[in-house]
A and B are shown apart, each in its own frame.
Chain A
Amino acid sequence: MKYAKAWILLLLSWTLTLPAFADLKVATSLSDLASVAEAVGGKHVSVISLCKGYEDPHFVPAKPSLMKAIQDADIFVSVGLELDGGWLPLVIPGSRNPKIQPGSKGFVDASEGISVLDKPVGTVSRAEGDIHPLGNPHYYADPMNLTIVADHLADVFSDLDPANAADYSANAKDFDGRMEKELKKWEKELKPYKGSPVVTYHENFKYFTKRFGLKDFGTVEPKPGIPPSPRYLDETAAAMKEAGVKVVLYQPYYDADTAQQLARKAGATAYLIPNEVGGVDEAKDVFSKFDYIVSTLAKAFGGK
């Protein structure tokens, strides 16, 4: 029986490999990009994401099985801005797939056309931690940025599969329209809390706070990629108390204990929110992800 289980697991792992029947086989580095690709591609594409939603996109283990999974992909969509720069340089060449190497038509940098926040001015120094030298790559936290990605993907899909071009552009238009409609709903839900401060684990929520008029008070980690010292937590908690910050946000791949410890010290509450699709079970696509985030925040600020 034990062996049977192992074999079933092996078979399951093989299913990560892309099926062959779709017109376009699309792979993405991030689950949000996969969700957009599915919306734009519709029935003509099969999509996989290499990074799962509960996995830290900065530190995806460059497993050979990921290379295998994209060996036959037609398109690879990277987040860009070096968020996936720690593992794509192994996984993309390792796939031995010329169609998706940087410089080929099938390699897409989804950050093209995005207005990037936090672009470093002057020299970049790792004394500031493992910073993102090209600016904040967590742009997918702003719903409107995903419409830019959708339009971009529609162009790429149409270019590589002209027969279905009309469908791709219609799907992208639908996606954009739905996103605008949903955005109005989310804005309405969060309107009473404009200006409310939040502490996030990492600076991965800035595009969201900017879009919805919330205030970034600080981060649980003192510098990107550096875990907090007890002293830093004490100081941050004291500052939060003074400013009346009540909400700490963290993702499934960050240390929940640390986030909760900070919240306790500051008299605040720590909330798990998915920054990426799949971060919690309810976040099945980009729309339900934002639904989950917005309702969690509304409850948090509303004190319910």
Chain B
Amino acid sequence: MSNGSVDNVELVNDAPRNGSAPGPRRRATAESMAAQQREISVSEFFMKNRHLLGFDNPRKALLTTVKEAVDNSLDACEEAGILPEVWVHIEMVGENRFKVGVQDNGPGIVKKQIPSIFGKLLYGSKFHRLRMSRGQQGIGISAAGMYGLITTGKPVKIISKTSIRKPAHYFEIQIDPKKNKPEILNGKGEGVDIPPNEEGRKYIADHGIEWVEHYETPEGQKPEPLASGTRVTIELEAIYKRGRGSVDEYLEQTAIANPHVTLHYLDPDGEYRTYQRSSQNMPPEPKEIKPHPYGVELGRLVAMLKDADGATLSQFFTGSFSRVSPAVARKICETANLSVRTSAKKVGRGEADALYKAIQETKISAPTTDCISPIGEENLLKGLYNVVPGEFFCSATRPPAVYRGNPFQVEVALAYGGVSNVKKVTLEALREMLAESDARTLRQFIISSFDGLGADAADRILKAAEMPNRMSPAKLKKGAVEQLYHAMQHVNLSEGATMQVLRYANRVPLQFQPAACAITQAIMQTNWRSYGLSQSRGSLPNGPLTVMVHLASVWVPFTSESKEAIADYPEIAKELRLGLQTVGRKLGMFLRRRLKVKQEVERRAIFMRYLGEVAGAVSALNGSDRDKVYADLLRVAERKTKEADAKFDKHGRRVETPEEFGGNVLIVTHESPLPAGGAVAS
């Protein structure tokens, strides 16, 4: 996908190109070729490019569909200033066939827009503007609808409601695969309005669609109705499998990075869970900015020049870019040997080239950075705490910085301790996961199914279960599954666990291609040993910890079109490094202190053990009062080990105050899980 500023990409209506080139010998005539030239259908284009669009395989297709819909919902809610609440329902409707329904409490969509949004490939509002949004990630909800249509023949179903009193609009839409145009199937091509009453409810039930009418409220309270919102239902061929790269993972990670969101998830197995929002604060609305000259590639510059109807170069530069004053515009033009009064539209290819070079040579002040809306240190803590178990949490939001004229901001949060997913899984779930797994060996199954588990941990589990590594997961007998389950519950994993890394770009989890990503590289290059973790050179550190890294930017530099890994710009790498070091230092402090307290507690215990004997012997030797000697010695012992006293909780663990760590730290004690954000100091 190019960054071109074109409103509507109408693939089908492109005039067929004339492919004949002059050559020494004509092998074909224009006429003979014309016979072969035909419209490329959208569906053909789609299927050819599905790997770029996130539909490489049936499992990923399910994820991409959910992701497109949820990202749209969150973007719409935030833009409208509504605290987002999203319902994700996935239902299995046949073999390898799923119905995905995603509903939000957003502003809804006006009736006449609905068909284009869901029935036209590459039709969106976020593609062309420079503003931090999730939408940049995907290729649009209509692609998911297209995939559904191709694989099941079923249309996309949309219900959207913009106000509490008004009726909801209901559309069944499919893309005309020849023309890239929406085709409305219901209401004689007009859609249907569903009134907000009993009749409407009956209509919904009769048409195999759903609509969540009320928020979940505690029992006894009056249910609060949803004033507005949108629900998209897509039926598609897919495979549902938990573990890495799954829908479950995406939703969980989304909940972590978006603590202002409430997510309800009904999975295909009928399991229902809710990630309750832990923050009532909407992220500040990101401002839209004009591009900075440094961030504009040559092709984009050419396109922008073409669009600048009637403007002079001076007007073009000052009007289309941020941070370009008339003086800066003149400087650019002078360097490019062009007059500021040249009409922008008339700039030729060579001149554009000169302008592009001139921009790079001209000193232009950095763009404003208020267009970025970070998650914020406090919300990072809340989000992570809400979802990831741990004893110690800390976070750091770096100040905004700029790469190639694009403002960006790095955020890092860390959770230490807690129980691995391996321990949380139920025997039932394990059985299912084994049945679903296409891993060739048990070892591979364990590593790929559970985050934060390295090969070492997998080996230890298998050893404890007394099972060979190479055994195929599908062949496990019933008793063997129990044996494996038992081993998973009981093996001490905290030593063998590797750091779990959660990567985000603009609050959207990046679930694939970790090795290619600048975030992973920055983590591996950080020396975690100096923070008390073990780490072999050039790999992730070991230990029961999760690190989340968020890159927020108006334009996230992905390594490829599939948008799964962040490119390694030096400015970004530096910010990543600094952010990781900040949380690393805090973790190091925590671990050192914990170790110290633990040692002091042990030290005291050892001293105490011998005090009675010493007092007894002394008393026997010189006839002094044994109890007095004991009391005196006890006093000295306590003074000598006073570190150990620093506020013990019931379990002999020290209760620390976050202030000691310079803020943005959350320490959880066993018996009193703090209410989210309860001990946050910022």
A and B associate: no
Residues in A lying within 8 Å of B, measured CB to CB: none
Residues in B lying within 8 Å of A, measured CB to CB: none
